[in-house]
Structure 1
Amino acid sequence: MPTLVAVIPHPDDESYSFGGTIALAARAGWRCVVICLSAGEGGERHDGGPADPASVGQARLGELARSCSALGAAPPLHWRLPDGGFATAPGQSLKLSRLLAELRPSVVLSLGADGAYGHPDHLATYRWVIRAWQSMREVRPALLLAAFPAGLFLPQYEKCAAGGLDCVPPALVPGSPGPDSPHYSIAITAVRDAKLAAIAAHRSQLPGGDPGALFPPGIISALLESERFVDARGFRDEATESMIATWETAAD
């Protein structure tokens, strides 16, 4: 059974970034494993439960497990790095490379160089994943990095920056494809309900329990038709395109 691994910084990043792709691969018979680097204990809580960091983190890990179940993924793996403090956690790329060598994925999914909206933990995750992937000498999986439409997450960046989070404005890495020219665009309408269920599983993060309230208006609706990726190898790969086509066909 081939394996897909998704590496995310916080619970819920799997759902909006590439939940549809995970669901497609799972329906095609792949083992899908989500590695979550923190419990997201620094997040706000909107479900009326205890709001101390330990309680928030515990609730969010439970939500992550339910999200993975909705997508057809295996129970998630989590490291409990400090939410918002990835910069103080050295050595993670080596740890990640060892875990990837153990899991032997054919495909790895993660966030791109702009971290969606410049969240510092997202940017650290990108750097660790790239270094881990580059260190894999014998069998290097395809590494697909989420590429969101230009400007889509600007409202979320502005919201986080206004709240005091030290975000980097969303920007492209020089020489890389722009967000409007990804290497792959994966149709996910066949698994739209699974992606929505995964987002809804993160109830503590949703004002009123509404999946559309995870981000400022308009963002979630834009993420329910397709998911776009940049290939870390820098080019569109025919074998990867063929693999994606089998996922899409299996869901029809």
Structure 2
Amino acid sequence: MTGQVLLFVHAHPDDESLATGVALAHHARQGHEVHVLTCTLGEEGEVIPAELAHLASDRDDTLGPWRREELRRATAALGVRHRVLGEDPDRGVLSRWRDSGMAGTPTAANPAAFVNADVDEVAALVADVVTELRPSVVVTYDEHGGYGHPDHIQTHRVTCAAVASLPEAERPALYAVLTPRSWALEDRGWLAEHVPASAGWQVPAPGDAFPPSVVDDVVVTHEVIDPDAVPAQEAALRAHRTQVSVGERCYALSNDIAARLSGREGFANLDPETGALVPPPSGASRRTPLLPGAGA
């Protein structure tokens, strides 16, 4: 089946490639129309390359426009379309809201920060995009925003509200990105065997805590498994060079903690009315493809 539309709603440039790069590249290669909607420009991100440190918000504060161009290159590598929420190129407006930074930081108190935006106002803009594109599938984060970032939580909140605002007959299927615990444990074992000490990255220990997006296997009801999509994901992550260092089938952010590029991503349905995960069907024994009627 070809010709379906998918929309992935993310908080910052690079989130699309980190969390859903496999699904994006996979469905684009299948001939579907794949869109990314990014809610902020990630102005408060930490800059990895020393020669680009001047871009940071506490110096030149030009990281946002730089990351907008990184997003263009990354989505081109994945073969998908992209837009930033509230951007207006004709007026020179790159985004409507600013990256909030982490919870408890001074930047999160900025009135222009995305976390402080009116949910109804943002949801209306997201709903406009959904109405325009008419996707069969919308993907965003769970109620914890994957790992607790305020902008990720806000993205979850406004995406659910946007879908809930539509007539029931016009609502697309809504999913959160999740990782089965068994996959996460396998990935840590792989990292211990494949990440060389010379990389200078920390490999998580088997007993280290997982982020909230790692859940019991039974919670994850849908999946995309496509190892052949990893090269496109790697290329997209290399485009985000201010934020990501890329190795062979692995990467690290500014914290230098290694993560695997495993070629698989998990998902579960969200109830747009409540924002909660929809309980898996009773007796379900296997995961199904993210896109109805398509291969995983």
Which residue of the other structure, out of 242, 252, 273, is the alignment partner of 1:213? 252
- Secondary structure of the corresponding residue to residue 55 of structure 2: coil
Give distance in 1, aligned partners of 2:56 and 2:229.
35
Q: Does 1:51 align with 2:55?
A: yes
Report the TM-score, using the length of structure 2 for normalisation.
0.68
Alpha carbons of structure 1 residues 245 and 197: separation in structure 2 relative to 1, 3 Å: farther
Preserved CA contact (<8 Å) 1:133 1:140 = yes
1:17 alignment partner AA: A
Distance in 2 between the 1:141 and 1:245 partners? 15
- What is the aligned partner in structure 2 of residue 31 from structure 1? 33
Matches of 1:95 and 1:243 in 2, distance apart? 24
Aligned residue for 1:142? 173
Matches within 5 A, 1:65-80: 65-79=72-86, 80=95
Whether the 8 Å CA contact 2:223–2:289 is kept in 1: the answer is no
CA distance, structure 2, for counterparts of residue 130 and residue 243 of structure 1: 19
Aligned pairs for 1:1-252 (under 5 A) are 1-47=3-49, 48-49=51-52, 50-53=54-57, 54-79=61-86, 80=95, 81-84=97-100, 85-90=113-118, 91-137=121-167, 138-150=169-181, 170-171=211-212, 178-181=215-218, 182-206=220-244, 212-214=251-253, 216-219=256-259, 221=260, 223-233=261-271, 234=278, 235=280, 241=289, 243=291, 246-248=294-296
In 2, the alpha carbon distance for the partners of 1:29 and 1:131 equals: 29
Q: 1:244 to 1:69 in 2, by over 3 A?
A: farther
Length-normalised TM-score, structure 1: 0.79
Contact 1:27 1:247 in 2 (8 A): no
Runs of at least 5 residues in structure 1 that lack an aligned partner in the other structure: 153-168
Percent of counterpart pairs with the same letter?
30
1:198 and 1:179 mapped to 2: Cα distance? 29
Alpha-carbon distance in structure 2 between the residues aligned to 1:197 and 1:39 = 20
Over 3 Å counting, the alpha-carbon distance change for 1:76 and 1:247 in structure 2 is farther
Provide the secondary structure at the position in 2 that maps to 1:143.
strand
| Alpha-carbon offset, residue 95 of structure 1 | 1.5
Give the match's secondary structure for 1:42.
coil
Unaligned runs of 5+ in 2: 87-94, 101-112, 185-209, 272-277
179 and 147 in structure 1: CA distance in 2 versus 1, 3 angstrom threshold: farther
Is 1:24–1:247's contact at 8 Å kept on the other side of the alignment? Answer: no
2:257 aligned partner, one-letter code: P
Aligned-residue offset at 1:202:
0.3
Pairwise CA distance, 1:99: 1.7
Total equivalences in the alignment: 224
1:6 CA drift (Å)? 0.8
CA distance in 2, matches of 1:206, 1:241: 28
Q: Secondary structure at 1:230's aligned position in 2?
A: strand
Larger Rg computed on CA atoms = 2
- Tell me: CA distance 1:70–1:242, structure 2 relative to 1, closer, same or farther (3 Å): closer
Q: Which has the higher helix share?
A: 1
In structure 2, relative to structure 1, the CA distance for the partners of 1:246 and 1:171 (3 Å cut) is closer
Alpha-carbon distance, 1:94 to partner:
1.6
Contact 1:44 1:51 (8 Å CA) reproduced: no
| Contact 2:10/2:16, CA 8 A, preserved across alignment | yes
For residue 146 of structure 1, give the secondary structure of its aligned residue in structure 2. strand
Give the alignment's Cα RMSD to 1 decimal. Answer: 2.7
Partner deviation per Cα, 1:78-98 (whole Å, 9 max, x = no partner): 432110122221121122112
The answer (yes or no) to whether the contact 2:6–2:136 under 8 Å persists in 1 is: yes
Show CA shifts across 1:133-168 (max 9, x none): 11121411111110134596xxxxxxxxxxxxxxxx
Higher relative contact order (CA 8 A, sep 6+): 1
CA shift in 2, pair 1:89/1:198, >3 Å: same
